[in-house]
Structure 1
Amino acid sequence: MSDSFTLPLRPLVEKADAKDTLPVRIAQINAQRGSFRNVTEQSLQAEIDAQREKGEAPQEQYEAKEPADVDATERLDQLYKRRAEITQFAMQAHMESMFALDFISLLLSKHTPRQTETSMSAFLKQTVPMGSLNTDVIKTPQRSESAKKDIKTVSRGWKLESFNAAANKLLKSASRLEEEVAAETKYWGEVLAVKDKGWKVCRIPREKQVLGVQYGFLEATPAFRDRGLAALRRADDGSLILDKGIVPSKPRAVRVQVKQDDRITGCFKLSQLASVESDSIESRILQARDTLYEEELFYELNREARVMASHGVTTQHNLIQFEISEGQEIMFDLVDLEELSDQPDSETRTQEHDILAEAVAHAMRILLAYAHRQNLRRRTQMPPPLTPKKRPVPEYPLLRPIAAYLQHSSHVRSLESFLNDIYRTLKSAGLESSYTANPFSSVNLSRERKSAPVVERLVEEFLGPLESTFSGTLAAPGSSFSVKIRTHLFPPSLGTDYEFSISLPPSLNVQPPARLGLKEEVETFITHLMILDLSTFIPSMLPKSKTAPKDNTAGEQLEWEVAFPHYGELHASSPSTGRSKKMTLSLSRREMSLRTSWLDEFQEPDEGNQAGKAAGQVLYTWKADDESPDGARAAGKTLADVVAEASRDETQSS
C-alpha cells in the first residue's frame, strides 16, 4: 500500500430520501403484486378493509382526501405529462426487450441460423455476420489441497498486512491529531491573550476563515485605516504569526530637528518611541501600530506642507522644514529607528533646542490624535445632505498650530525684551514708568465647557487665534499705551499682527496705526511714542519761571515749548537777550540722550554757519546698563536734573 493513504474520520453524510420515480414504483408493484392484471380496485379496497378490521393501519391513512382546487387547464396538462411519462417508459421497456432478443438470436445463430434469422432485427442482420457470437462451457480445473492451502495462506497474509497497515495509519492519525490539538490549543491561547490585552480580534474581510487583529485607528484616512488590520496566522508548532501585509517590518518614526545657522542644535530622542525589545506578539502589534501611526503623521504633514508652501514651508523627498525665527528652522523626516540607535549625539546640540524639538514632536502627535477624535465626532453626527460633488478632505491642522505658536512666542519674547531694555533706559534717567505683560492671554485653561472632554478643550485653546497683550505707562501722567499681538492659524490671515491703542495729550493729535506686522516697525513706533510723550512732559518737569531780582547772578529760568514733538525738539527763548535755545531728545533701545544748544536769533543753524552753532552745549546720555539688576538707579543725573540745568538763563550771568 502507498504511504499517502489517509483514513477519513468523519462519518458519511447520508443523502435525504428522494421521491421514487415512476419506473421504480412500477417495479415495486410487479415485485409485490405480480402483474397489473391481478391489481384491481376491488382487491385493493378489500385489502384496505381487512387491515382496518385488524387495526394494523391508522384510520386517517386511508381517509379520502379532498382534491386540491385545480382548474381544468392545469389538470389537463398534468394528465398529458403523466401519459407522456408512461409512454416513454413503455418505449424504453420495448427497446430493452428488443436488444435482449437480438442478443439471444445472435448467440443461437451459430447453431440454428434458419430459426434465429426470423427473430433478428434488420439492423443487426446488416451490421453483424451470422454466427459471430458463440458460447462454450468451460470446466473449472480442480485445485489440489496444497494449492488451496497456499491460496488461503496468501489471503491471510494479505489480510494481516492490510490490518497492520490500517493500524499504523490509525496510530499516525492519532499522533497527528494529538499534535494538531496541541497546536490549536496553543494558537487559540495566544489569540485569547491578545484579546484579553484589549485588542480587537475579528475576521479578515477577504479571508473569512482567518482571524485578524485591528491595531490601526478607525478614524484615520482610508489608506491607513485599511492597513491597520493584520492576520493572525498559525505556524506549524501553533505559535502566532502576525501577517502585517504592506506595513514595514522595521520600526519607523518622525524625527524632529532644530537647525540654527546651518547646524543641528536640537533633536528629539527617538528612543522614547521605541517599544520594548521582545519577541512577544503584543510587542509586535505595538510596533506595527506605532509605525503605522508615524507613517500617517508624516503623510498628513506632507499634505499640510503643500498648502503652506506660500508661507515658507518647503518639502523634499523625505524632508519638511520651515523657519520659526531668523536663522532658526524646524525639520521633519521619517527615519528607521534601528539605523539611528547607534548614532552619537552632536556636539553642537543645546538643551534648550532639545526641549523645543521634544515639545514639537509631542505636540504634532497630540494634534493628530485630536484630528482622529474630530473624525469620530463627525461620523457619529447626522450626515450632511448628499451632493453630486465629492466633498474634499481637509488637511489636518498639524503644522499650522505649531508654526503659529512658535511664531507668536518669538514675537512675544522679542517685544518683551525690547520693552525691558527701553524701560530700563527710562528708569536710569529717573522716570517712573513701567509695563505689564500678559502673554497668551487668549489661552484660558480654566474655561468651562461641558460639551467637549477635558483633553479636547485643552487642545482647542491652542487651535484658535493666539493673542498676547502688553500695556505700559509713559512719563506724562495719564499717558499710556497697550498693544495686542495676534497670530492666526489659517489662511489667508496666517501670520502675526500688532494692534495699538494709545492715550496721549489731545494737543498732539496722534492716532495709532491700524495694523503693524514687523517687529522693527513695532519697536520704531513705541520709541517714537515715548519721544512724543517725553517732549510734552519735559516742559511740565519744572515750575513756571519767575522774574529774578536785578542783582541775581544765577539768571532766569527758561520756559520750554514743544516745537517739533515728532523729532523730540523743544525751544526756549531768553527774555533778556532774545536768544533761542534748542533741546533735542533722542531715544533708542539701549540709550537716551539729551542735547541743548544756543541758536543765533537771526540765522538758521547749519554746518557752515559758525555763528549759528551753540555758544554753550549740555550733553548727557543714559544707558540701560546704568540700572542695576535689583531696580535701583545708579548714581548720576536724572532727566529732571539735566532739564533744570539746561533751563537756567546763563546769558545774564555772562
Structure 2
Amino acid sequence: MSDQRPLGLRPQPPATNRVTSIREFHARMSMEPGGLKGVNQAEVGRQIEARNAAQNRTGGDDDANDAGDAVMHDATEEANEPDTSIDIIKSREEIIRLSIDATRSARTLLDATSLLLSKENPVSATTTLSPETHQRAGLGTLGLTKLAAPTVIAQERKPRNKMTIIGRRLRDMRHVARKALSASRRLRREIRAETKYWSQVQTVTDAGFRTAHLPEHQTIGVRFGFNSDKPSFADKDIAPLRRAEKGSAELVLGTYGGGSQRVQVTILEHGSVVGKSTLQQPMPEESPLRDVKEASETIFNQELWHEMNKEARLMLGRKVRLEKSAITYPISSTETISISLVSPGGADTPESEPPRPKDDLADGLNIALALQLTSAHRFREEDEGENEMHNAMGMAKAGDDDDLEYLILEPIVSYFEHEQILEQCIRQFSALLRPLSAAGLDCFVKISEKSLKQTLPPAKNCAVATTVVLLRHPEVHFDLQIAPHCRLRIMFTSSATDGTHFAVACESTSPSQPNPLIKRCPPYPKGYDEVSKLFEYLYTAVPRALAGYSEFVVQELILSVLQSGENARGWTWAFDNKGLSPYNHSDFGVYFEFSRDPATGGRVVEVRGDFNDENGQRISRTWTWPAAPGQDDDDQTASFEDVVRHVLASCPHVAEDLDEGD
C-alpha cells in the first residue's frame, strides 16, 4: 500500500492548477458527451485535432473556444499546456488504485471485526468473515480479555477510600441538617410574622374598615375613606397594608401621605384668640389601626376643608372671606370665626394650652362642621341609591358627582344670621319700649320659642337632625304691647333656603275692645323679609296705637260726663290717624309722634296738645318722653295718660256723640 491513510479515498491534489479535485474533474467529465465512459484515446485525439483546426481558421483568436471543451482556461494558458490525454489516463489509473486500496482496507477491517465477534457469536460472524481469514485464523481466536488485575496498593487504598466516602457523606448530611435547621428557623420567623400581620389586618377589619386583595395578590389593601366620597377623593382613600420585616402591617400612603391634618375653629375677639377647638391627638400606640384611623381622619378633614373652600367662594356676599390659609366669618361686630387646616403636633399647635372662655363655642362649631359633611355623605348615598333605581327603570339622572355642592358653611352662617337678627330685634324692641315706659304706658314684649320637637320632622340619625336644626331654625314669637288694648304678635322665622320672614298679626285683648291698629294701621298681609321694614311699620304704628289708646280715654271721659248729667263732647280721628280732635273743631285736639331725637339718636314719644288754658285762651304745648333738656319738672313727672286727660278735658265743649269716622 502507499503512504496514504488506509481508508483515504481522496487523492493528493495535482501539481497543476487546472483541476482542483477528482470531484471537480468527475463533474466536468460527466458534462461531456458520453460522460466518463465515453473518454478514450481516439475520441480525445479527434477533439484535439478539431480544436487545432478551429484555431487555424480564426487566425489564433484567443477568445474563440469550442463548446465541448471540458477545461475552462484562457487561450494563452492552453497553448502552453502539455497534452491532456496523458493526464486523463493518469487520473483514471489513480482512481482505480485508490478504489482498490479502499476496498482492501474495508475488507481487512470487516475481517477483524467479524473475527472479534466470532468468539461471542460465531454464527453471525461467519456470514461476514472472509473464507481466507476463516481458514487461516479460525473462529474464536480473537477476543477481549481483562489483563489488568487489582494490585496490592489498590487493595490497601480500598478501606481508606471507603472511609473517605463515608466522611464525605457525613459532611454532606451535616450540611443538609444545617440547611434544614436554618430553613426551620426562617419558617418559624415567617409564621410569626404572618401571624402578626394577619392579626393586625383582622384588627383593622374588626374596626369597620374594608380590606381586600390588591392586584398584587400578596398584599392587602384597606379603604379608610367613605362610600359616598366624591370621585376626586375616592381615589385617595385606598392604600396597601404591606408587611414589614418583623411582621407588622404598615400603611403605605404613597404620594398622598402628608401627615395628620385637622380642621380647627378659632374664635377671635378684637384680633385676640378667645376660643379654639380642641385637636384630637394621634393614638399613642404604634399599630396599623392607628395609621388607618389617622388616614381616615385626615382625608375626612381634607375633604371638609376642600368643600368649605368651594362653598366660601359662593358666599362672599354673606361676609364669608377667604384669606391666605383660613376662612373667616364675623359673627358680631367684635367677634370673628376663623377656620383653618392644621397639623396636630406642629409648631403652630402646641400640645397643651390654657382654657379660654369661648373654647366650648369653637368645639361646638367644629363638631357641627364635621356633622354637616357626614350628613352630606348620607344624603349623597341616598341619592346614589335613587340613581341606581332610576338606572334600573331607565331614568338615569344626569350630572357629575364632582359638581355636587355640599352645604357645610351655609347652615352655620344661616344659624349665626338668625342669632344676629334675633339680637337685633331684641335691641330695637328695647329701644322702642324705653320711651313708652318713660311715658308711663303699660308696654312690654314677651319672647317665646317653639320647641324643636314641635317644629322639626323626625330624623333618622344625629347628623341629619343637626343639619335640620341648623337649616330650619325654630319659630320665635314676639308679643309686643305698645299700649293697653294695642297688642301685636310678630312671628319670626328664618331658614337657609327661605331666608328671613316676619309675620305680624293684631290681637285684641277682648271682643268689646278691639285693637285700633286693625282699622287704623293694619300690617302688610304677606309679612316683612327685613328687620328694617318690620320696625319701619312699628314706628309707624306707635302713634296710631297711642291715638287708639287715647280713644279709650275719651270714652271714659264721655261716660263720666254723661253720668254727671252734662252734655258729652264728640271726637274724631285726625286725617293721618295720629291724633284726636273735637268734632267740628280741628284746630283743637291731641296729636302723637314717635320720632327720632337728633341729639341722642333714640326714639321719643311726643304729645302735642291744642287746648284752652285757664283763661280760655287757645294754647299749644308739647310733651316728650324721655324728657327733653329744659322741660319743666311737672312735665317730666307727668304720665302720658295724665297729659292726654288734661288736654282732652281742656278742649271746647261740643254736645255731639263720638264720631268713629275718619
Distance 1:265 1:569 in 2: 54
Q: Could you say which residue in structure 1 is the equivalent of 2:307?
A: 300
Query: What CA distance in whole angstroms lies between the structure 2 residues aligned with 1:111 and 1:434?
Result: 152
Q: Distance in 2 between matches of 1:155 and 1:112?
A: 54
Match of 1:251 in 2: 260
Alpha-carbon distance change, 506 to 200 in structure 1, aligned in 2, over 3 angstroms: closer
Task: Using the TM superposition, give the Cα deviation of residue 323 of structure 1 relative to its aligned residue in structure 2, in angstroms.
Answer: 3.8
Conserved in 2, the CA contact under 8 Å of 1:497 and 1:515?
A: yes
Cα deviation for residue 268 of structure 1 reads 3.1
The answer on 1:563 being equivalent to 2:569 is: no
Aligned to 2:543: 531
- Aligned residue runs from structure 1 range 498-577, under 5 A: 498-502=502-506, 504-505=516-517, 508=520, 510-512=522-524, 514=526, 516-542=528-554, 543-544=556-557, 562-563=573-574, 565=576, 568=578
Render the CA deviation track for 1:280-321: whole Å, top value 9, x for unaligned: 443333222222211121122123223334434333453222
Aligned to 1:113: 102
Q: Tell me, what secondary structure is at the counterpart of 2:428?
A: helix
CA gap 1:211/1:517 in 2 versus in 1, 3 angstroms: same
- Whether the 8 Å CA contact 2:472–2:495 is kept in 1: the answer is yes
Aligned to 1:133: none
Cα distance in 2 between the residues matched to 1:298 and 1:290: 12
Displacement after TM superposition at 1:116 (Å): 8.1
Q: Give the corresponding residue for 2:251.
A: 242
Query: Which deviates the most, 585-594 or 296-305?
Result: 585-594
2:495 maps to 488
Letter paired with 2:533: E
Aligned ranges 1:342-491 → 2 under 5 Å: 342=350, 351=357, 353-381=358-386, 382-384=388-390, 385=394, 387=396, 389-392=398-401, 393-439=403-449, 441=450, 443-444=452-453, 449=458, 452-453=460-461, 456-457=464-465, 459-464=467-472, 467-475=475-483, 477=485, 479-490=486-497
Shift of 1:253: 0.8
Q: Structure 1 residues 319 and 457 mapped into 2: Cα distance closer, same or farther (>3 Å)?
A: closer
Answering whether residue 191 of structure 2 is matched by residue 181 of structure 1, we say yes
CA contact (8 A) 1:558 1:649 kept: no
Aligned with 1:596: secondary structure?
strand
Can you list the C-alpha shifts for 1:251-286, whole angstroms capped at 9, x where unaligned?
21111123444x144433223x22443324433332
TM-score of the superposed pair, with normalisation by structure 2: 0.61
Amino acid at match of 1:166: V
Asked if the contact 1:304–1:397 (Cα under 8 Å) also holds between the matched residues in 2, the reply is yes
Contact 1:432 1:475 (C-alpha < 8 Å) held by counterparts: yes
Match of residue 32 from structure 1: none
Distance 1:238 1:454, change over 3 A: closer
Q: Return the offset for 1:526.
A: 1.4
Q: Give the drift of 1:148.
A: 6.4
Distance of aligned partners of 1:164 and 1:420 in 2 relative to their CA distance in 1, 3 Å threshold = same
Partner of 2:328: 321
List runs of 5+ in structure 1 lacking aligned partners. 1-108, 119-136, 549-555, 601-612, 624-634
Distance 1:162 1:111 in 2: 62
Matched position secondary structure for 2:453: coil
Residue 489 of structure 2 aligns to a residue whose secondary structure is: strand
Question: Does 2:281 match 1:270?
Answer: no
Distance in structure 1 (CA, Å) of the matches to 2:558 and 2:426: 40
Q: Quote how far apart the aligned CAs of 1:616 are.
A: 6.2
CA distance in 2, matches of 1:177, 1:618: 107
2:267 partner SS: strand
Q: CA–CA distance in 2 between the matches of 1:530 and 1:321?
A: 40
Q: CA deviation at 1:335?
A: 0.7
Q: Residue 270 of structure 1 contacts residue 337 of structure 1 at CA under 8 Å; is this kept in 2?
A: no
**1:596 aligned onto 2:631:** no
**RMSD between aligned residues:** 4.5
The DSSP-based 3-state class of the residue aligned with 2:229 is: coil
Q: Please tell me the residue identity of whatever aligns with 2:171.
A: E
CA contact (8 A) 1:251 1:337 kept: yes
Equivalents in 1 of 2:518, 2:472: separation in Å? 37
What secondary structure is seen at the aligned counterpart in 2 of 1:227?
coil
Q: Note the C-alpha offset of 1:455.
A: 5.8
Inter-partner Cα distance in structure 1 for 2:344 and 2:399: 39
Conserved? CA contact 1:597–1:614, under 8 Å: no
Deviation at 1:639, TM superposition (A): 1.1
Q: How far off is 1:406 after superposition?
A: 1.2
Does the CA-based 8 Å contact 1:557-1:647 persist in structure 2? Answer: no
Distance in 2 (CA, whole Å) between partners of 1:355 and 1:113 is 119
Q: Which has the larger radius of gyration?
A: 2
Partner of 1:86: none
Structure 2: 5+ residue stretches without partners: 1-97, 108-144, 507-514, 562-566, 628-635, 654-662
On the 8 A contact 2:593/2:606 being kept in 1, the answer is yes
The residue type paired with residue 267 of structure 2 is V
Counterpart secondary structure, 1:298: helix
User: In structure 1, what is the equivalent of residue 290 of structure 2?
Assistant: 283
* Pairwise CA distance, 1:443: 3.9
CA contact (8 A) 1:322 1:331 kept: yes
Match of 1:643 in 2: 644
- The corresponding residue for 1:609 is none
1:467 Cα offset (Å): 4.0
Q: Evaluate the alpha carbon distance shift between residue 306 and residue 593 of structure 1 in structure 2; reply closer, same or farther with a 3 A threshold.
A: closer
Q: Give the one of 206, 219, 232 matched to 2:215.
A: 206
Q: Is the 8 A contact 1:258 1:267 kept in 2?
A: yes
Question: Are the aligned partners of 1:618 and 1:646 in contact in 2 as well (CA < 8 Å)?
Answer: no
Aligned equivalents of 2:545, 2:313: Cα separation in 1: 47
Choose the corresponding residue for 1:167, options 177, 182, 196. 177
Displacement after TM superposition at 1:159 (Å): 3.7
Counterpart in the other structure of 1:619: 623
Separation in structure 2 between the aligned mates of residue 139 and residue 302 of structure 1, nearest angstrom: 104
SS at match of 2:389: coil
TM-superposed CA distance for 1:415, in Å, is 0.9
SS at match of 1:322: strand
Match for 2:229: what amino acid?
A
Please tell me whether the aligned partners of residues 278 and 363 of structure 2 are also in contact (alpha carbons under 8 angstroms): no
Greater shift, 515-524 or 138-147, is seen at 138-147
Go from structure 1 to structure 2 and tell me whether the alpha carbon gap of 1:648 and 1:139 turns closer, same or farther (over 3 Å shift): farther
- What is the CA deviation profile of residues 450-502 of structure 1, one whole-angstrom value per residue up to 9, with x for unaligned ones? x845763454354347643323334252x433333333324xx5x42434344
Code of the residue aligned with 2:550 in structure 1: it is I
1:345 positional shift: 6.0
Q: After superposition, what is the alpha-carbon deviation per residue over 1:89-112, rounded to whole angstroms, capped at 9, x for unaligned?
A: xxxxxxxxxxxxxxxxxxxx9996
Q: CA deviation at 1:407?
A: 0.6
Contact 1:234/1:240 (8 A) holds in 2: yes
Distance 1:112 1:536, change over 3 A: farther
Q: Is the 8 A contact 1:183 1:237 kept in 2?
A: yes
Counterpart contact for 2:590–2:610, Cα < 8 Å: yes
Aligned length, in residue pairs:
481
**8 Å contact 1:569–1:582 — kept in the other structure?**
yes
In the superposition, relative to structure 1, how do residues 536 and 641 fare at CA in structure 2: closer, same or farther (>3 Å)?
Answer: same
C-alpha separation in 2, matches of 1:111 and 1:640: 168
Deviations 1:312-360 (A, max 9, x none): 43334532223444454322211111124428869xx962x44332222
* DSSP-derived class of the 1:207 partner: coil
Question: Quick check: 1:498–1:517 contact (8 Å CA) kept in 2?
Answer: yes
Inter-CA distance 591–167: structure 2 relative to 1 (3 Å threshold) = same
Distance in 1 (alpha carbons) for counterparts of 2:194 and 2:407: 47
1:342/1:350 Cα in 2 relative to 1: closer, same or farther (>3 Å)? Answer: closer
